[in-house]
Chain A
Amino acid sequence: MNAQAHRLARTPSGIVGFDEITGGGLPTGRCSLVCGAAGAGKTLFGLTFLAEGALRFGEPGVFISFEETEAELAANVASLGYDLEQLRAANQLAVDYVRVERAEIAETGDYDLDGLFLRIGHAIRTAGARRVVLDTPESLFSSFSNAAILRAELRRLFGWLKAQGVTSVITAESGGGELTRHGLEEYVSDCVILLDQRVLDQVATRRLRVVKYRGASHGGDEYPFLIDETGVSVLALASPQLAHDVSTERVRTGAPALDDMLGGEGFWRGSSILLSGEAGTGKTTFAAQFAAAACARGEKAVYFAFEESPQQVARNMRAVGIDLQRWIDAGLLHFVASRPSSSGLETHLARMCREVERFAPDVAVVDPLFKLGGDVGGMLLRLIDYFKGRGVTALLTFAESTAETPDHAGVSSLMDAWLQARMTEAGGERQRGLLIRKARGIAHSHQIRRFELTAQGVRLLPAAPAPRLAAPSAASPARSVVNSVAVPGVAVQGSAVQGSAVQGSAVQVSAVSGSAVPNSAVPSSAVSGAAKDAGREPAADAAEVERRHAAEARKRMIEIRRRELGARIATLQSKLAQSEREADMLFARQQGAEEAAAQFRREAAEAGRHRGRT
């Protein structure tokens, strides 16, 4: 008899993620115990199990509530998007509210809970139920005085449910360090699930753990657990093995010139792309264009917006010629907007995974990636893993605090590609530049390309400045791009020479290609060099620009240092104030104690005098 022989059949719970972590759901025809403190989500777990069973798996259910009335239950599931009344009307769900008031009961001898058994049996037969939920039968312990009878009867009930061939969920309240208050876990041997809610960084975080599952090798890990208006779900994160199917397809970015920088075909499908940049560099525009391009190919895209509302993104993108509304209306683009602070990182990730699960997009945009408490790197790794496991090409934007040191939220190593959008100042104006910092498996350009946000979306300017912006030459950008792509890496220098020969602007182009050699001069100088107009004396200019930039960089560093020191001073001051308050408190307490002692001594002396007199 090995574990394999014991493997129980599974009944899908319909709870997103849960069936994945349990290898298919709850054990069919058995009782599962779902325990957790008040408010952990036990009732909603049970209701979702039943509602999904009825709606998706054609399995009617019975809900026996020992705590909440039918009206309260209806309100609870309505908040998850289920219509209890409709399910009941369709005879897909029977609800029975069992309430026993101890005050109106006298016990006069031996009894059993056959009444309850018969009620449940009747409900099962009436609905033709395959699933049963008993929501906190433990509360009967407060209704009957004979705990021994109750215990025996509950044990009999669980066995009886098994005999009925229904898959059941029994909820129980955990407390006092125990899984359940009355030790019900002793009676349920097949599957025990613990729901937990705790507060981390002032944000409530829910977790789910499979404590026990007969015949299954469950990890025993905790998984983020989520309850919101779209239901209950578990963030089932894929195993950390790197074993995804790898696509040999490419995905275009929506900006043809950028595709060209990426070997002419864009990114690998299923890759994860980080787009970092300062505020206002056009990250959202890139992201929106990326999503819109996917939709234009007939693919589905999901857009996770953490800074702006969908309406705002759509309006702003319309202004640069990207019509997102059209794709939303067509059902190809799905917007999910929420505030970073609305919940913990894990909850956000759980929600994102669930949306991906439900919408099954080809492309996902996360705009922007944000830092919240918790194990950011680990969680992001799991998210990216999740995207990859589903072949979703993901573009994640990240707002850098300063352009001086490229910042990537510590995740660049997880990413297949990293684009950086940056602002540079040259000739009295700020210009946008785009750089591919890395792109695994793609012979990509190392140039910093100027780009503009035009009425037609993101437009990358030719690698070398075109003579006239109004009518850019079609030939020259294509030429220089082809060169840089065809002969990447070390050979860039050569391409620049060739490009310069074609375009007659040798100095700027060589400046650009110079910067493309990894780890060479400060990149910003190269950008400004590239952005320069032809015809000026470039060498002196470049030096001047570099000096100015260096000075600005120093100024910024000083400013950052100043702010850091300010913050530290503030922290120290608040600590000092705290210590002073504590000292005051201790002093006051000491004074109080002394007064009390004095009082006591006076009273004792008084009493002594009394005794002396009598």
Chain B
Amino acid sequence: MTGADAERWLLRLYIAGGSPRSQAALANLKGVCDEYLPGRYELEVIDLVAHPERARADQIVAVPTLVRRLPPPITKIIGDLSMKERVIVALDIEMTD
């Protein structure tokens, strides 16, 4: 895929402090990204316990929520990201290799 190399994933993960579910989501996400998007993603982690005001902008209700800001369209993925296949599909990662 020609354009695929240029494509970058801009991800934002909303978590609630150090809750096990949040930590699991972070670990699961890192696993997927390092495996399928090495060097092609940027991850911003927002702890809503410390910054509750940030929940509004992305309409966060459930935690954890992962927001794929790029590539478009903006997609939200909720849950601890333990279902790897679903995460891959939802993130729209093409498994060409």
> Restricting to B65-83, which residues have a CB under 8 Å from any CB of A?
65, 73-83
Least distance between A474 CB and chain B CB atoms (Å) = 80
B13 to chain A, nearest CB (A): 12
C-alpha gap A609/B21 in the complex (Å): 73
Residues of chain A within 8 A (CB-CB) of B77 are 105-108
A98-B56 Cα distance, complex, nearest whole Å: 8
Q: Please report which residues of chain B, range 51-96, place their CB below 8 angstroms from some CB of chain A when the two chains form the complex.
A: 52-53, 55-56, 59-65, 73-83, 86-87, 89-90
Residues of A within 8 A of B53 (CB): 122
A100 to B78, CA, bound (A): 11
Given A104-B76, A109-B83, are A96 and B56 also a contact pair (CB < 8 Å)? yes
Interface residues of B in 17-63 (CB under 8 A from A): 19, 21, 25, 28, 48-49, 52-53, 55-56, 59-63
Let me know if A561 is at the binding interface, CB within 8 A: no
- For A116, list chain B residues within 8 Å (CB): 61-62
A107:B79 contact, CB within 8 angstroms: yes
Chain B residues with CB under 8 Å of A112's CB are 21, 62-63
Please measure, in the bound complex, the distance between the C-alpha atom of A167 and the C-alpha atom of B95, giving whole angstroms.
52
Residues of A close to B60: CB separation below 8 A: 115, 119
B11 in contact (CB, < 8 A): no
CB nearest neighbor in A for B15: A114
Taken together as a complex, chains A and B put the C-alpha atoms of A144 and B62 apart, in Å, by 9
Contact indicator B52/A122 (Cβ below 8 Å): yes
How many A residues are at the interface, by size bracket?
Answer: 20 to 34
Interface centre among A98, A100, A108 (most CB of B within 10 A): A108
The answer on a CB contact under 8 Å between B21 and A108 is no
Does more than half of chain A's interface fall in helix, strand or loop, or is it mixed?
mixed
Q: Which residues of B contact A143 (CB under 8 A)?
A: 61
CB distance from A157 to the nearest CB of B (A): 11
Judging by beta carbons under 8 Å apart, are A108 and B78 in contact? Answer: yes
Cβ–Cβ contact A110 & B80, under 8 A = yes
- In the complex, whether A99 has a CB less than 8 A from a CB of chain B is yes
Q: Flag A17-60 by CB within 8 Å of B: 1 or 0 each.
A: 00000000000000000000000000000000000000000000
How many of B's residues come within 8 Å of A, CB to CB? 34
Contact A114 B59 (CB under 8 A): no
CA distance A143 to B78 in the complex (A): 12
**Are B78 and A106 neighbours in the complex by a CB distance under 8 Å?**
yes
- Among residues of A, the one whose C-beta sits closest to the C-beta of B19 is A114
Residue A140 CB within 8 A of the other chain: yes
| Residue A121 is within 8 A (CB to CB) of chain B in the complex | yes
Chain A residue, CB-CB nearest to B25: A109
**Minimum distance in angstroms from A144 CB to a CB of chain B:** 7
Asked if B80 and A111 sit within 8 Å, CB to CB, the answer is yes
Q: Judge whether B52 and A113 touch: CB under 8 Å.
A: no
Inter-chain CA distance A114–B48, complex, in Å, is 9
- Nearest residue, chain B, Cβ from A99: B59
Instruction: Please name all residues of chain A whose beta carbon is closer than 8 Å to the beta carbon of B63 when the two chains form the complex.
Output: 111-115, 118
If the complex has contacts A108-B90, A111-B63, are A119 and B55 also in contact, measured as CB distance less than 8 A?
yes
Least CB distance from A503 to B in Å reads: 87
Listed from nearest, the 9 A-B pairs whose CB atoms lie closest are A109-B79, A122-B52, A106-B90, A109-B82, A115-B60, A109-B80, A114-B63, A114-B16, A108-B79
- 13 residue pairs bridging A and B, Cβ less than 8 Å apart: A99-B59, A100-B61, A105-B76, A108-B90, A110-B82, A111-B78, A111-B79, A111-B80, A114-B62, A118-B52, A118-B55, A118-B63, A140-B61
Residues of A whose CB lies within 8 Å of any CB of B are 96, 98-100, 104-116, 118-119, 121-122, 140, 143-144
List 18 additional contacts besides A100-B62, A119-B56; criterion CB under 8 Å.
A100-B59, A104-B74, A104-B75, A105-B76, A106-B89, A106-B90, A107-B77, A108-B86, A109-B25, A109-B82, A111-B63, A112-B62, A113-B61, A114-B48, A115-B48, A119-B61, A140-B61, A144-B78
